């Protein structure tokens, strides 16, 4: 009996034995590896599924196979967003077996830095917003200067410690804590997709890499180069989504979003990455 007992519940979906250690579960019941492999949805979308719901999802996934067979990735944004732009097909999630949907499922999109709009779809064209990230990064100048003083003091103490150690003076050896520069400018960079799909419906945020200061040798210019690189990636993402949606290709230059716009962004529903990063 116990861990190595053969008397165990079978997978409620297909009847095969589930793995002995850390099986995936549906409705609190362990499922087999094959059924778990077919589950390409994030945990937040399956944790409330019943076994019957999951069976229906597997049927839907089988019916989705023709679209997956047609799909050829021509563009990807990190690991979560893949597109076949000529065929106007979209795949979400980190698994190659993930569901593929037609671009008509995309209702709208917004790309944000924190709660601040950067890009937004509209029938009139791509709305491109100004950002105050460069100004916020430059405002870190005094903090960087103070950190450099602290770091140089640490290095002086470290050299003294090394000299004492070489001279065998163990009484002067103390623990030194290396200072690090922790200064957040960008909270996150994310794409917010609003979809009309039976399994990916609603608003879904997908997160990219956010630029950060080097925590030992912070430099505003280096940070701004990282941010500019990410902004180019986000702009390319926005343009490709506009093509997928067959919207007006022109760009509309907007100012920095006001408080009302930022509050509207903050009220959007959460998704993968907001307390549930599994995709």
| Each residue's pLDDT tens digit, 38-94 | 888 877 778 788 999 999 999 998 999 999 999 999 999 987 899 999 999 999 887
**pLDDT higher than threshold 50 for residue 270:** no
Q: Answer whether 0.85 is exceeded by the pTM.
A: no
φ, ψ of residue 86 to 5 degrees: the values are -60, -35
Q: What is the pLDDT of residue 160?
A: 80
Residue 178, in any domain of the structure? no
φ, ψ of residue 98 to 5 degrees: the values are -60, 155
pLDDT band at 279 (very low <50, low <70, confident <90, very high): very low
Residue 131, in any domain of the structure? no
Summarize the confidence of residues 191-215 as an average pLDDT.
Answer: 89
Residue 38, in any domain of the structure? yes
Task: For residue 110, give both structure tokens.
Answer: 């917004």
**pLDDT higher than threshold 60 for residue 6:** no
Q: What is the pLDDT of residue 24?
A: 86
pLDDT band at 193 (very low <50, low <70, confident <90, very high): very high
Residue 150, in any domain of the structure? no
Per-residue pLDDT of 111-120, as tens digits, reads: 999 999 999 9
Phi-psi region of 114 (alpha: psi -120 to 50; beta: other; left: phi over 0): left
Q: What is the pLDDT of residue 95?
A: 73
Distance CA 27, CA 14 (A): 14
What's the full length of the chain, in residues? 279
First-to-final CA distance of the chain: 35
Burial 166-200, CB ≥16 within 10 A → b, else e = eeeeeeeeeeeeebebebebbeebbbbbbbebebb
List the beta bridge partners of residue 111: 119, 191
67 or 270, which is more confident: 67
Distance CA 197, CA 195 (A): 6
Residue 81: name the closest of 253, 275, 272, 249 by CA. 272
Distance CA 258, CA 226 (A): 25
Summarize the chain as % helix, strand, coil (round to 5): 35, 20, 45
Residue 5, in any domain of the structure? yes
279 or 183, which is more confident: 183
Q: What is the pLDDT of residue 113?
A: 94
Would you say the C-alpha torsion 254, 90, 272, 236 has a positive or negative sign?
A: negative
Residue 35, in any domain of the structure? yes
Residue 86, in any domain of the structure? no
Beta strands 251-254 and 126-129 are parallel
Q: What is the pLDDT of residue 255?
A: 84
What residues make up the domain containing 28?
Answer: 1-70
φ, ψ of residue 107 to 5 degrees: the values are -85, -40
Residue 31, in any domain of the structure? yes
pLDDT band at 271 (very low <50, low <70, confident <90, very high): very low
Q: Which of 25-34, 118-127, 172-181, 197-206 has the highest mean pLDDT?
A: 118-127
Domain total of the chain: 1
């Amino acid at each position: 009996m116990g861990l190595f007992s053969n008397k165990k519940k079978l997978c409620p979906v297909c009847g095969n034995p589930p793995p002995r250690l850390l099986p995936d579960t549906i409705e609190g019941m362990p499922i087999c590896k094959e059924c778990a492999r077919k589950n390409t949805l994030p945990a937040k979308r399956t944790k409330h599924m019943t076994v019957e719901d999951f069976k229906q999802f597997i049927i839907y996934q089988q019916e989705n196979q023709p679209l997956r067979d047609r799909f050829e990735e021509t563009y990807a944004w990190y690991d979560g967003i893949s597109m076949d732009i000529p065929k106007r097909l979209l795949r979400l999630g980190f698994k190659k077996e993930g569901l593929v949907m037609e671009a008509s499922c995309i209702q709208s999109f917004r790309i944000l830095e924190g709660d601040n709009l950067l890009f937004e779809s509209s029938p009139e064209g791509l709305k491109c917003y100004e950002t105050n990230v460069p100004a916020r990064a430059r405002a870190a100048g005094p903090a960087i200067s103070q950190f450099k003083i602290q770091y140089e003091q640490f290095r002086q103490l470290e050299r003294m410690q090394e000299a004492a150690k070489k001279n065998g003076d163990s009484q002067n050896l103390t623990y030194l804590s290396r200072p690090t520069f922790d200064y957040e400018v960008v909270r996150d960079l994310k794409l917010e997709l609003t979809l009309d799909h039976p399994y990916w419906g609603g608003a879904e945020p997908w997160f990219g890499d956010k630029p950060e200061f080097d925590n030992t040798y912070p430099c505003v210019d280096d940070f701004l180069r990282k941010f500019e690189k990410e902004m180019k990636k986000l702009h390319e993402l926005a343009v490709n989504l506009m093509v997928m949606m067959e919207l007006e290709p022109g760009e509309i230059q907007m100012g920095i979003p006001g408080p009302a716009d930022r509050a509207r962004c903050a009220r959007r529903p959460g998704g993968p990455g907001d307390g549930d990063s599994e995709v």
